[in-house]
Amino acid sequence: MGVKLFSVSIFMIGVKMDKLIPGIIAWAYEKNILHGSNLEKETLKLIEKCSKLRDFLNDESICAKYIGHCIVQLIIICKM
C-alpha cells in the first residue's frame, strides 16, 4: 500500500485511525523506512510536506492529499 492510498482512505473512505496506523507502520517496515532511514531525514520530509500543504490551502482536493501525507509522516516519526 502506498502513501496515496492512505491519503485517500483518510479523507474519502473514513477509515478509523486504529486500523490505519498499523497499516502505515507495516508499509513503513515493508519500504524499509523505519530501519533504513533516520529521524532527521523523516523530519525534513515532514517539513517539506507541510510546506507543500501550505502552498495548496485553497485547493481542497490537493490540500486533503497533503494533510494525508503529513499524517503518514507523523506516524512514521512517532514509530521511530
Long-range contacts of 30-33 (CB under 8 A, 24+ apart): 33/76
Give the model's pLDDT for residue 7.
52
pLDDT grade for 61, boundaries at 50, 70 and 90: confident
Q: What are the C-alpha distances in Å from 25 to residues 3, 21, 57?
A: 11, 6, 27
Give the model's pLDDT for residue 78.
94
Percent of the chain with pLDDT over 70: 81
Q: What is the pLDDT of residues 8-21, one digit of tens each?
A: 445 544 557 778 88
Give the model's pLDDT for residue 15.
57
pTM for this one?
Answer: 0.75
